[in-house]
A and B are shown apart, each in its own frame.
Chain A
Amino acid sequence: GNSVTQMEGPVTLSEEAFLTINCTYTATGYPSLFWYVQYPGEGLQLLLKATKADDKGSNKGFEATYRKETTSFHLEKGSVQVSDSAVYFCALTPYSNTGKLIFGQGTTLQVKP
């Protein structure tokens, strides 16, 4: 079946530290991959996406590369800010045109000044 596995949190970093949040997936065919961010008390916002192998998604200093050989889509940022504190969800849509979005468990990031 289709599934997403994220590293467990919480992840606590100091401001300006380098961030990596690991995400691996299991899927048949060619899924599309997404990172969503949820700030406290809010809905989900799309952070970035990639729809085919070797695509790199990027936004607001965050990047992730679709690696089919390792079935991974790790999220990175070179220098985090306190305002990046949130829950990050890795997700995929299977190659099935149903619209189903399958989420990982989420990783809480806390950035301290």
Chain B
Amino acid sequence: TEVTQTPKHLVMGMTNKKSLKCEQHMGHRAMYWYKQKAKKPPELMFVYSYEKLSINESVPSRFSPECPNSSLLNLHLHALQPEDSALYLCASSQGTVNQETQYFGPGTRLLVL
């Protein structure tokens, strides 16, 4: 049960464009992006189910998710603000039925200058 995320760390300026990548090879059909600030629980950003965006938790448009195939999930970042600095976690699960377990990656620690 492994979810991988790259890069581990990312420093970007407010005018940069960067992407976070998440990959799983467990055959899971649901993938998630979360944002976690220090000493807080993760906050859900997006849910993909069968490669289609099913939930967007009112995330600003400077965050743009993409699911090219069932194993890959990207998060494209553009014109971020310093308050967007956080740990970004990806997760996956077999499906979105409520008994399913979400498996988390190690996260990308993002610093916006």
Contacts and interface: CB of A to CB of B under 8 A. Distances in A.
A45 to B, nearest CB: 7
Contacts, number: 67
Q: How large is the interface on A (under 10, 10 to 19, 20 to 34, 35 or more residues)?
A: 20 to 34
B55 A98 contact: yes
Contacts of B100: 93, 99
Given A101-B44, A105-B40, A34 B101 contact: yes
Contacts of B42: 44, 101, 103
Interface residues of B, number: 29
B98 interface: yes
B98 A89 contact: no
Contacts of B56: none
Contacts of B39: 106
Contacts of B30: 99
Interface in A20-61: 31-32, 34, 36, 42-46, 49, 51
A106 B40 contact: yes
Given A34-B101, A43-B107, A99-B32, 10 more contacts: A43-B106, A44-B104, A93-B98, A93-B99, A95-B98, A98-B47, A99-B30, A99-B47, A99-B54, A100-B47
Interface of B: 3, 5, 30, 32, 39-42, 44, 47, 49, 54-55, 89, 91, 93, 95-107
